[in-house]
Amino acid sequence: MSKARTVLIVDDEIQMRRTLGAALRGQSYEVIEAATGTDGLLKVASRSPRMVLLDLGLPDMDGIEVVRRIRAQGDVPIIVISVRNDEHNQVLALDSGANDYITKPVREAAFLARVRAVLRSVEPHRKESAAFVVGALRIDPTQTRAWVRGIEVKLTRTEFRLLSALMHEAGRVVTHQQLLRQVWGANQSHEIQYLRVYMKQLREKIEREPARPEFLLTSPGVGYRIKIAD
Amino acid sequence: MRPMTATKPSNAQGIVWSLVTLLASALISYLVHPYAALSDLIMIYLLGVVLIAIRFSMLVSLATAVLSILSFDFLFIPPALQFAFPDLKSVITFCVMLVVAGVISKLNQRLREEQAASHRNEQTTLALYRLAQDLNGAVRVDQLVASATRHIERALNARAQVLLGDVDGNLSAEPGSPLSAKELGLARDAWSRCEAVKRCDAATTQVYQPLLGLHRPVGILCVFFPNGRGDDSDTIRLIVAFAAQLASAVERISLGTAVQHAQVQIETERTRNALLSTVSHDLKTPLSAIVAAGTTLFNEHSELDAATRLELSHTIVEAAERLDDLVTNLLSATRLESGTITLTRSVEALDELLGAVLSRFVERLGARPVKIEIPFSLPLIFVDPKLIELVLINVVENALRYTPEGSALYFEARQVGEEVVVSVADEGEGISEAEREKVFEKFFRGRLARSNDGGAGLGLMICRAAVRAHGGWIVSKSRPGGGACIEFSLPVAEKLAPNIPLTEQHA
């Protein structure tokens, strides 16, 4: 029972482990810690945590490598914690299988919201057939129809696929590559222009003020994220 | 471009012309002698002598004069066709003829010499002028040496080599130098004695001319003439002149480099001082707030009420956020300044970047009206998204810092040719004419800046560096109706590849 709420923090900085641990314990998560990549991988195998918080700058091995090895073992969700000037690694980590990333310095409210979002997105009992709701957005995959605040919007097939890909990962960042693969297929993964153009059209249709979006948020240099109410 | 008189006609030519003139004089005199007196006929001979003296050497002129006298005596002084002792009047005329021949040919000789000298001077000046022109274009010493060597070789039609002295006062010979050990020895000799060294042997004439700078020699010009040329004073003069010019050019460049170096050092020093004062003040202020609030909270003996604890925590968070911003800016500024930054460009949409930036400022924007005018048709831009995000963050940060709560912000973008021009304007007091340029300088704080507002005078400097890294421009100006406006350009992305249809049927 308690195992379902165990979170492993892998970070070499004791202050970070202490602070993140305190925030998580305050929400009655059980916290285990590791200071190195090796120890982290060991604890993923031995303790089977519900989620891993992973710092990319580890003393003994590259954080991306840790992501890959955890992914090779199973699909425990991973949130990468990185410093701000680390976009390249963030994208690499996400494309390697991390579920989300948080930049340092970490703000508690935003941090807990991302943790909840990731846990929710990997919950097994997701109803694919019925209508899917995130905040004021609702889609019906069976009929490819979409509603914003209860009002139906007409979307093209591509726009719909884009919206539904983001909604299924609501709250976490989906990288450009992941979106391109999911929406256009593997061979189009470098044509980022299409993504920009379709995002623009999608925003025009579902946002009140497209330049200050409420739903479809941009993570410059990384990807897109659908905002969820905390 | 050779004046006729500059070449000296040969004596053989002179004798031929002399005989021709003599014959002509005799013929003319014979034809006119029934109508003229003897004294008139001698004038015809005199004219012939003068003509020869103008053109030919002293020897030929005097010979012509003597032959003229003899022929005149033989032909015209009675009794005709035999030599007779002339009368006094004729003797005087003969003497005059000799003197005229001598004087004219002497004058003529001097004139020819002067012309030759001025021609040589002209050639020297021209050669020096061309060298000076070549040398002025050079900005590095190696360019200078290469161009001077080329030039001197062409002007002297000989092989030339320039050796330069190094900082320690030694004559350096690069590893690939074509000079033999012996030649190098002679060059070193000229270098240490500070005077020209000349060596002549059967095959070559070698000249080692020091390049004399203001205080010390800066190098050696070596010239190698084949088959015995290069031994005359004109050539040596030319080499000395070349060497002087080359020396001053080398000094000009090395002094220029030294000045530049000193300026860079001064600039570095200034930056370091400014950085130190920024670090000491702007980093220390929030740090001391954190330490103070933290230790108060940490003290278990103090009895703080919940509200005070909250306030202290808030202070810590605020100060830490400010520190974080400052460190981020300092790092970005350093990365941009050092030029080591590599742009990770991709095709981006300006409205997305702006949206991401505005969402960071949601709380601080509060109820401020934000007016955004970005046409739907605005093309995509080809930029480093994080850098342009940084530009927008800093511009917005600046606008928020210097304008009253509740005043509006304006964002506009339009396409101008191959650029997207973005302008961000506010309703504050604006930027004074005098500060228009300065706002983009490092550590510059506007007159309205408050010392404790967390700004370090880096924001707009970062903006300028980032925009310029994209090949764009950034300016500050006044918003019509009051307020400041920062305007900058970004490159438009290439048109979309046409293989994917952008219009499709609704699902």
Cα gap B129→B135, rounded to integer Å: 10
Q: What is the pLDDT of residue B5?
A: 42
Which residues of chain A make contact with B369, given a CB cutoff of 8 A? Answer: none
- Dist. CA A173–CA A220, nearest whole Å: 11
- Name the residue among A145, A191, A221 with its Cβ closest to that of B386: A221
Query: In terms of Cα–Cα distance, which of A42, A22, A39, A40 is closest to A31?
Result: A22
For B240-257, what is each residue's pLDDT tens digit?
A: 888 888 888 888 888 888
Pairwise CB contact (< 8 Å): A160 & B507 = yes
Q: Which of B367, B453, B464 is nearest to B407 (CA)?
A: B367
Indicate the DSSP class of residue B280.
I
Residue A209 is predicted with a pLDDT of 87
pLDDT at A229: 67
Cis ω for the linkage preceding A105 (within 30 of 0) = yes
pLDDT in tens, B82-125: 777 777 877 888 888 888 888 888 888 888 889 888 887 887 78
Instruction: List the single range of A104-118, A145-159, A187-201 with lowest mean pLDDT.
Output: A187-201
Set of chain B residues whose Cβ sits within 8 Å of the Cβ of A217: 355-356, 359
The alpha carbon dihedral of A123, A125, A128, A130 has a sign of negative
Q: Are B3 and B115 in contact (CB under 8 A)?
A: yes
Interface of A with B in 135-174 (CB under 8 A): 144-145, 154-160
Report the C-alpha gap between A145 and A137 in whole angstroms.
Answer: 11
Cα–Cα nearest to B208, from B176, B162, B166, B251: B162
The confidence score (pLDDT) of residue B1 equals 38
Average pLDDT value for residue range B253-276? 78
* pLDDT value for B236: 83
What are the residue boundaries of the structural domains of chain B, listed by start? Answer: 4-121, 138-257, 282-337, 346-491
**Helix and strand counts by DSSP (H, E) for chain B:** 13, 12
CA separation for the pair A212, A204 (Å, rounded): 11
**CATH code matching the domain that covers B138-257, chosen among 3.30.420.40, 3.30.450.40, 1.20.1050.10, 3.30.1240.10:** 3.30.450.40
Task: Say if strands A132-134 and A51-55 run parallel, antiparallel, or are unpaired.
Answer: unpaired
Distance CA A224, CA B348 (A): 12
Rounded to an integer, what distance in angstroms lies between the CA atom of residue A102 and that of residue A205? Answer: 29
| Rounded Cα distance, A42 and A37, in Å | 9
Query: Superfamily for B346-491?
Result: Histidine kinase-like ATPase, C-terminal domain (3.30.565.10)
Check residue B360 and give its pLDDT. Answer: 85
User: B358 vs chain A: nearest CA distance in angstroms?
Assistant: 7
pLDDT on residue A1: 39
Determine which of A85, A218, A227, A230 to mutate to test the interface with B (most B C-beta atoms within 10 Å): A218
Residues of A in contact with B393 (CB under 8 A): none
Distance between CA A199 and CA A152 in Å, rounded? 18
Whether A230 and chain B come into contact, CB under 8 Å, resolves to no
Substitution target from B352, B377, B499 for chain A, most A beta carbons within 10 A = B352
- Give residue B454's pLDDT band: very low, low, confident or very high (50, 70, 90): low
Task: Locate the DSSP E strands across B381-438.
Answer: 381-383, 409-416, 419-426
State the pLDDT at residue A190: 59
Residues of B in Cβ contact (< 8 Å) with A141: none
Question: Residue B420: its pLDDT value, please?
Answer: 95
Could you give the ipTM of this predicted complex? 0.78
CB contact under 8 A, A196 and B389: no
Cis peptide bond N-terminal to B86, omega within 30: no
Count of CB atoms situated within 10 Å of the CB of B363: 6
Instruction: Enter the DSSP assignment of A56.
Output: S
Q: For residue B431, give every residue at least 6 positions away whose Cβ sits within 8 Å of its Cβ, in sequence order, or none.
A: B439, B446, B476, B477, B478, B484
Q: CATH: 1.10.287.130, 1.10.1740.10, 3.60.15.10, 3.40.50.300. Which one for B282-337? A: 1.10.287.130
CA B453 to CA B362: how far, in whole Å? 19
When pLDDT is cut at 50, 70 and 90, the band that residue B497 belongs to is low
What pLDDT, in 10s, does the model give residues A18-74? Answer: 999 999 998 889 999 999 999 999 999 999 999 999 998 888 998 999 999 999 988
The answer to whether the Cβ–Cβ distance between A220 and B353 falls below 8 Å is yes
Closest residue by Cα to residue B245 from B212, B220, B206:
B212
pLDDT given for residue B281 in this prediction:
74
Which of A153, A212, A214 to mutate to test binding with chain B, by most B CBs within 10 Å of its CB?
Answer: A212
How far lies B321's CA from each of A112, B156, B495, in Å? 19, 73, 40
Whole-angstrom distance, CA of residue B194 vs CA of residue B165? 12
**pLDDT tier, B307 (very low <50, low <70, confident <90, very high otherwise):** confident
> Which residues in chain A have Cβ-Cβ distances shorter than 8 Å to B344?
87-88, 221
Domains of chain A in start order, with CATH, are 2-121 (3.40.50.2300), 132-226 (1.10.10.10)
Q: How many CB pairs under 8 A join A and B?
A: 93
Name residue A198's amino acid: Y
| Mean pLDDT calculated for residue range B11-30 | 88
pLDDT band for position B8 (cuts 50, 70, 90):
low
Task: For tokens 């300016």, name the residue.
Answer: B475
pLDDT tens column, B367-421? 899 999 999 889 999 999 988 998 999 999 888 888 888 899 999 999 999 999 9
Average pLDDT over residues A146-156: 90
Mean pLDDT, all residues of chain B: 82
User: Is residue A190 within 8 angstroms of chain B, CB to CB?
Assistant: no
